[in-house]
Amino acid sequence: MKRVKQQRWDSPFTRFLGDLPLKKIMLISTAGVMQKGQPFEEPKSGFWLIPGNIRAEDLCVPHRYFDHSNIDGDINCIFPIDRLRELISAGRIKGVTDEHVSVYGYHLIQARIKRVVAPQIAEIAEASQSGAVLITAGGLFCHRIAITVQKVVEERGIPTVLITQFPRVTRLSKPPRALYPVGFKPGHAVGPPHQTELQRQVVLDALCLLTELDEPGLVVEKQYPEYSISKS
């Protein structure tokens, strides 16, 4: 596992206290995940609230801003709700929050994300009493939005970890914490469709960074050999 350290400035950092098995996790994605049956249009708030108990098959990514042909068969690639539930059953985390957040990740005005959208999301995360937040993204622009949201949530006092597929952009943006599964393509945030064990391991590795890292600005690179033979 390779750690790439960034400079400290512009990297807010909330130290994770306690144990993962005692914490509820909130999931935030900037890939534009939404509930099936809803009209596809940008919400006025800039994000959708996703029920914590929703079935994975009731979620979709309706836009075409990045190639998500594989996601259509397994939303867990980008929104690993089932993998979090499996970690609950395994005793690795306490639970998930009553609601997760899905950001419409293609805002052209980054300043609005920082001043308006991200603070609202941070308030929701705080009110949900989440012990930590796991963040995923889709395409390149989604990653920039994700890091902006991540920083604001972290400034609110909630530890966060991002799973990135664009390590260079992520390093330049100086996130609080990030995991880069080496070689994973956009849309495969935690792995290819139906690769349950790999997806679960990536999610767990990301969450473990909350307890392992004690300073901001680290992008941890990790190889997953099984990805090279399973990706589609």
What are the structure tokens assigned to 69, written together? 């042909």
3-state secondary structure of 226: helix
Question: Between vectors from CA 57 to CA 89 and to CA 146, what angle results, nearest 5°?
Answer: 80
Neighbouring C-beta atoms of residue 84, cutoff 10 Å? 25
pLDDT truncated to tens, each residue of the chain (232 aa)? Answer: 655 544 444 789 999 999 999 999 999 999 989 998 776 667 778 899 999 999 999 998 876 655 556 676 899 999 999 999 999 999 999 999 999 999 986 665 778 899 999 999 999 999 999 999 999 998 888 899 999 999 999 999 999 999 999 999 999 999 999 999 999 999 999 999 999 999 999 999 999 999 999 999 999 999 999 997 655 4
pTM for this entry:
0.92
